[in-house]
Structure formats: structure tokens, C-alpha cells
Amino acid sequence: MEDCKLCMLVTFFLIITKMVATGKYIPTTLEGPFDPVTIRFDPSLRQGSDDIPMDDPRLKKNVTSMFPEQIALALSTPTSMWVSWVTGDAQIGSNVTALDPTSVASEVWYGKESGKYTNKKTGNATVYSQLYLFEGLLNYTSGIIHHVRIDGLEPGTKYYYKCGDSSLPAMSDEHVFETLLLPGPNSYPRRIALIGDLGLTSNSSTTIDHLTRNDPSLILMVGDLTYANQYLTTGGKGVPCFSCAFPDAPIRETYQPRWDGWGRFMKPLISRVPMMVIEGNHEIEPQGYMSLCWGHMLTITVQYAWLKEDLHKVDRMVTPWLVAAMHPPWYNSYSSHYQEFECMRLEMEELLYQYGVDIIFSGHVHAYERMNRVYNYTLHACGPVYITVGDGGNIEKVDVDHADDPGKCPSEGHNIPEFGGVCHLNFSSGPAKGKFCWDRQPEWSAFRESSFGHGILEVLNSTYALWTWHRNQDIYKEESSGDQLYIVRQPELCSPSTSLKVIFHFNIRELLFNSLFYFSCGKRIEVSLKRDPMRLSKERKQKKVQRYLQNGRGFCHCSS
């Protein structure tokens, strides 16, 4: 109990410090559900931008022979790291010959001091080819792709490294990375960046510039990276959207060199900050699901049988935060992709709810949206916080229409998923009962904005995390944010055995300086009522609290 009070007091201090530094109040999910807010697209801005051309210096190959390029990091464990890179020249044409992956070594030299590489690890190399059977379509074969897993590292430690083949010699310049902390009390990734549907446009460039200045320790990409499959094999523009049919083509084409350009474009960032990728519809493969343990937090990608077993293994005392990531959103009030993945939600939502998943990130919709805590389209204090960050800046432009806008409710023939069935449904309860679309912003949609941007998640302790969304058009400052709030876990309320208990949330501004004890323990007062608390007015809630406090029956939970 004393440890709990101490950590909550530290959280209180951090929140107060943040408020003083930024000069603004940051709400918490304890105060929800929030009234829906919509910030519409600014017509003075362009809705999108063209892709960066392949002859741009950021996309062109700038090394020779077998020197490494497209260097990238990916997580393995707190004591290991994957390093990947490409050597040699890719080929595109009617006749291509794959390079020999054994012709060059895969080495990483590394150490704790700059210029002193006391250790070496070797790995494997491969190539891939995109071959078309149709006349007139150009084939592609990649450079040699290297993967080396460095293990035996110390957690929370900075390492300097070079990669390549020391016998040629053909080694990269020096790069640096920092390993994650071991799972344990208050060991979390410092700043986790969330981006989705990035692409390779001028808007994408702005997103990455802003994200880089936010200095993340980890990047989670929730799918759709390059949009290379919207190009012809000749490099010419093919189609403006993923679902659009290719003109005069027997098969969907892809211009693979845009993947190489994307790797070069991202290299300055992901050669020093590990990036984990969730597959999107532009790079979907059936085997692409995984879980990642980041200090005191577990992130999972979704596939049912594996997921159920993986969730069952999680010890919430060691890993209190559960964050799920998948490309398509289940909760979405935009016209684009509206109810497109209802079948998936119907099959899997209960499982994630039962195991107390805290946050669910998605992309696919090219705009930003954060939901109130919700379960089965009903406001629920123990439901996850769903956040859509498919606003990275890709060529398909920002989504601006909402399903509740007049005339913008999709018809039954729209938003058909490429994989899986169709489960479009009318709502069975609430203000939209009997309708396919709401006639106003749904109550479960807390904040939505048609702008490009990125998000940062900062986990403070086992119950508090700060979520900040930055829009691209803002001049970057630490205190500049489009949407920001503290996401608060309530494990004593929302464990599987107590998830149906009633909880009230109160305005932190009214309690902040009057009752440090109640705030330090999560600022919660629990009252047993038969009536649905969501239907009570704020004034009636406050009266209930006052009465229970006067009678000595109000209490605050702290885990021991």
C-alpha cells in the first residue's frame, strides 16, 4: 500500500509539473466519457500531396558497390537487437538475375564507446524477386538483404555499431542505438511514437520530421508503409486508391523500387530508433501476427487462436499495460472504411475486453480519431481506448467525410473488406437504434480531426500513460498538441472478476488541490447503484459523492 501511495504521489508530481510547464490542463480518462468533438478539415490546406520523386536525394542510392544502405533496427528483447540493411544493386526489367546472397558477409561490429567496436555478430542474407507472367510488365529483383541479431546486450545501454562486410572492406558509417530496460517496476520505453499509413509524400516527410524532433525511443508503425502497389511496374502512377482497378492491366502492379526509396528515406531515423511494423492492406501476408514485450508493456498484433493463448500467459503484475495494434479500426465514424471490419470486431472484441486490453491502435482511415472507453458500441468504463492514427500523410489524401454527415452514410455496397466477410449492421440500441449511421457524431467518438500527424505514448507508471497527438500543420513545440490526455488504468475495477462494478469519474480540476489523497490513489470514488451511471448528470454524481463522503462510505483503491 505504501509503495502504491508513493508511486501515485510521484505521478501526481509529474502531472503537476507537466501542467506548470505547458500552462494548460490535461484531462484524464477518469473524467470520461467526454462530449464528442469534431475539428473539420481546414479548406485553406491541400487535402494531400504527390509522392516524392525517385530522383530526390532522400530516395536515391548514395553508396557504391557493396556498401550498406537502408539500415534499420527492430526490437528483439531488452538484451538483443536486430540490424538489417541492403547491399548491391536492385534490378528491374524484362530479364533480371538475382544476386548471390552468399557473395557478401553480414556483420555487425559494436561496442559501448564511439569508435571502439569490441564485439562482432554475423547473420544471414537473402534476396527477393517480383516476377510477372504477363507481357509488358517489368520484373524486379532486390539487392542483398542482410539480417543480424545482436544478443548478449545490457538493458538500458547505449551501443555504437557499424554493419557490412569487413573483408571487402565495405562497412557503414557509425550508428548508435539504446536497448530497452528489463521488465520491472517503472521500467517503460521512454517515448513510443505511433504512425500509420505513412507513404512517401511531402506530408509523409513532415510527419517524420516532427516525429524525429519528438525523440522517440521506439516506433510502432500500424501498417501501410510505401504504397508501392499503386504504381505501374514502369514507375508511372497506376491508381489513386487501393481498391481502384488498374487500367488496362491483367493484375495489380507494383513498382518495387519505391520500397528501396522508402528504406533510404527512413534510414536516418530507424538506423538509431527501432521500428516495429504491423502489416496493412498494402503489404498483407497471412502469417503476420506477433507480440512485443516493451519493458512493463506488451503490444500484440491480432490473430485469434494465437492471441488467446498469448493473452492467457500475460502476468499483469509484471506487464500491467496491454496495448493492441492492428491495421483496420473497429470503431470508426468516418465514411471511409465505415464498419468495414465488423466481422473481425464481432469475433474478437470480447476476447480483448475479457483480458483487459488498455489501448488499441489502428490505421487504415486517413485521419485521426480517439474514442471514449467503449465495449460493443456502449460507453464502458472498462472498455479499451481505441485510437486511429492512419494520418501519416500518404498519397491517398486525408479523409474528410464522416458517416454522420448529411448524405455521407455509406451504402451497403461500400466498404467491403478485401479479406473476410461482410457484417454491416444497424445499431440495436442507443440514439442510433435501427440505423446504420448516426445522425451526429457518435457518443463513443471523443475526438476526431481530418489532419495528418503522429502520436506519442509516454507510460509513466503501471496505471498512468500520457497520450499526445501532434498535427502536422502546427509549428512543432513540445507543448503543441492537437489532442492530449492521460490514459488511466483501473486494475482493481476492471479485472475480469470485477469488470461489471459501477465506477464514477469526476473532474480532476475540482479535486486536484483539495484532496491529494483521493487524487494520489487515482481520484476515484465507488458507489453501488442500480441505475446506469452514464445516465446520471454531473450534478447528481457530485451529490452522490458528497453524501457518501459525509457518511464515511467513500473510498479509494490502491493496489498493495
- Encode 412-445: b = buried (16+ Cβ within 10 Å), e = exposed: eeebebeeeeeebeeeeeeebeeebbbeebbbbb
Rounded CA-CA distance 252/245 in Å is: 8
Distance set, CA 142 to CA 44, 61, 88, 131 (Å): 42, 13, 8, 11
- Per the CB < 8 A criterion, the answer to whether 229 and 237 are in contact is no
- Annotated active-site residue 146? The verdict is no
- Per the CB < 8 A criterion, the answer to whether 282 and 329 are in contact is no
Task: Point out the catalytic residue in the list 175, 282, 296, 337.
Answer: 337
Beta-bridged to residue 162, according to DSSP, are 109
The number of C-alpha atoms within 13 Å of 17 and in the hemisphere containing its C-beta is: 7
- Is 449 strand, coil or helix? strand
Q: Which of 300, 298, 280 is nearest to 290 (CA)?
A: 300
Phi, psi (deg, nearest 5) at residue 102 = -90, 0
Rounded CA-CA distance 165/68 in Å is: 9
Rounded CA-CA distance 330/343 in Å is: 9
Rounded CA-CA distance 344/337 in Å is: 13
Q: What residues act catalytically?
A: 337
